[in-house]
Structure formats: C-alpha cells, structure tokens
Amino acid sequence: MTRYLVGRVLQTLLSMLVVISIVFVLTRLSGDPVNLLLDVNATERDQEVLTRYLGLDQPLPVQYGIYVRNIALGDFGKSVLTRRPVTEHIWERLPATVELGFVAMFMSVLIGIPLGMYSAVRRGGVADRAARIFAVLGQSMPTFWLGLMLILFFGVVLGVLPAGGRGSLAHLVLPAFTLGYFTSAAILRLTRSSMLEVLGSDYIKFARLKGLHEQVVLWKHGLKNALLPVVTFAVLLFVQFLGGAVVTETVCCRTP
C-alpha cells in the first residue's frame, strides 16, 4: 500500500512538472511582456532595464530553472497586469471557489445518490421517469442560463434568496444549485445504472434468499457495491469544481 501511495505522489509531482513546463513554454511564446508593461513612449533603454529586471535576458534554460525553483518555493511571481503577487490573487478567489465547490458537491451527492437509488429500485415507475427527466434537463441546460433564471426567479421575483455576492449560507444556495444540478444529474444516472447492475447480481439474489429484510439487502449489500463507480466519479467532479467554476461564479457575482 505505501508503495502505491508513494508512486501516486511521484506521479502527481510529475504531472505538475509537466503542467508548469507547458505554461512556461506557452507564456514565452505568446509575446513579450515588456511591451505590455511599458508605455508607448518608452525608450530602448527602458526596455533593456525592464528586460533585465524581469530576468528575460537570461538564456531560456536558466529562466526555466529559476521558474521551477520559485514555484517550488511558493513564489509565483507577480501578475504582469496588476503587478501584485499572483498568490495574492489566488488567495482572494480561492476560498470562494472552495466554498462553492464543497457545497455544490454536497448538494449533488445529496440529491443524486438517493434519487438514483430510488430510481433503480422503483425502475420503470413514475418516480423513476421523473428522476430521469430531471437528470436529462440537468445535463442539457447551460449553467449560465440556469444561473440567471434562478437569480431572476428566486432573487428578483420572489426575493427569497440573495441575487449575488457572498457572505452567508443563503448566498451559496443558488450558485451551488446551479453548479450542482448538472453534476447531480450525472451522479443520479450513474448511481441508477450502477445500482441496477448490482440489483441483478447473484449475491443480491442470495441475500434475499437468506430472508433478510429488503432494506437491509439494498443498503447493506447493494449500496456498497453500487457506490464504487459513483465515488470515483464524484471525486473527479469535485476536483473539477475546485479547478474553477468560472461561469457560475461570474454570473452569481462571487468574484471580487
């Protein structure tokens, strides 16, 4: 087990190295920041000074080395536009995203798994069909539209929930739902199909044969197996959330 974990950690570091290298190459390719920073009237002398200051006159491998070393030490440099340290920008926005991510994740799991299970158990029934319609809508609706509609309805028309910004739990409801709807739909469908597959298996048949109460069969025997793919999927989704929910956050004005 430890060997596995160590391996995974090494893989993570390797992936990160690849990512920052790609970023390095792309930024070097996409133009000269010196021109961006300086005034139109800047002289060549000024350009030279700035270039040296930014370290852009060094040979590429050296730049790369400095770049990697800085990142390892936590220094992400300064934003070309705002001249403030990048880390500051990140810290400004990250909490909001993480908050939203957690709540959205929580909501989608809370909605998706039980509905998915219920759907599977009552297959073909009214509830199943309703749940599946709910799921299809969730996966086809664009987030910005849904976000706006929710704000319009709940925030403006009904005035029940805040229309934007952040601060309290109430502020999280609409954006979390917007973000979470799509994923809860995906989780619902995955739980449903996974549960259906599990319900058809021999060990469920055997569990019923033992005379166990149906609820025990479903929750003790069925759920554990059915959740395997769902857990993997949910975690991947959560990582995506953390990566940024730009559209939702912009619509719901959660960015400062």
Partner 1 sequence: MTSLNPALIIGTQVSEVVRLHQGLRGTRLRDRVLEALSRLRIPAAATRLRHYQHQLSGGMRQRVTSAIAMSCAPRLLIADEPTTSLDVTIQAQYLELLKEVQAATGVAVILVTHDFGIVAANADRVAVMYAGRIVEMGSTLQVFNSPGHPYTQALLRCLPDVELKRQELVEIGGQPPDLARLPPGCPFAPRCPRRQPVCDEAYPPAVPLGSGHVAHCWVASAAAA
Partner 2 sequence: MILEGIGLTKHFPVTGGFTAGGVRGWIRAVDGVSVQVAEGETLGIVGESGSGKTTLARLFLLLERATAGALRFDGKDVRAFTRDDLARYRRSVQAVFQDPYSSLSPRMRVGHIVAEPLPARNGLGRAEVRERVGAVLDLVGLRRDSAALYPHEFSGGQRQRIAIARALMTYPKFIVLDEPVSALDVSIRAQILNLLKRLQERLGLAYLMISHDLAAARYLSTRLAVMYAGKVVEAGECEAVYTEPLHPYTQALLSAALPLHPSARRQRIVLAGEMSNPLNPPAGCRFHPRCPRAMAECRSREPEWKEVRPGRFTACHLY
Binding site for partner 1 (CB under 8 A): 201-203, 205-207, 210-212, 216, 220-221, 224-225
Q: Detail the DSSP E strand segments found in 45-138.
A: none
Give 3-state DSSP helix, strand, coil % of the chain, rounded to 5: 80, 0, 20
CB of 214 to partner 1, least distance (A): 13
7 binds, among partner 2, partner 1, none (CB under 5 to 8 A by kind): partner 2
Which residues make Cβ contacts (< 8 Å) with residue 109, sequence separation at least 6? 184, 187, 234
Looking at the DSSP assignment, which residues form a beta bridge with residue 78?
85
Closest CB to partner 1 among residues 144, 206: 206
Closest CB to partner 1 among residues 204, 247: 204
Closest CB to partner 2 among residues 10, 19: 10
Count of residues in the chain: 256
CB of 201 to partner 2, least distance (A): 20
Number of neighbours of residue 237 by Cβ within 10 angstroms: 22
CB of 5 to partner 2, least distance (A): 9
Query: Using CB under 8 A as the criterion, which residues of the chain lie in contact with partner 2 when the complex forms?
Result: 3-4, 6-7
Closest CB to partner 2 among residues 7, 165: 7
The sign of the dihedral angle between the CA atoms of 154, 158, 162, 163 is positive
Closest CB to partner 2 among residues 10, 62: 10
CB of 10 to partner 2, least distance (A): 9
* Cβ proximity of 118 and 127 under 8 Å: yes
45 binds, among partner 1, partner 2, none (CB under 5 to 8 A by kind): none
220 binds, among partner 1, partner 2, none (CB under 5 to 8 A by kind): partner 1
CB of 203 to partner 1, least distance (A): 4
CA atoms within 13 A on the CB side of 11: 6
* Cβ proximity of 226 and 195 under 8 Å: yes
d(C-alpha 84, C-alpha 97), whole Å: 20
3 binds, among partner 2, partner 1, none (CB under 5 to 8 A by kind): partner 2
CA-only gyration radius of the chain, Å = 25
Comparing CA positions, the residue from 140, 146, 119 lying closest to residue 130 is: 119
Closest CB to partner 2 among residues 1, 209: 1
CB of 7 to partner 2, least distance (A): 4
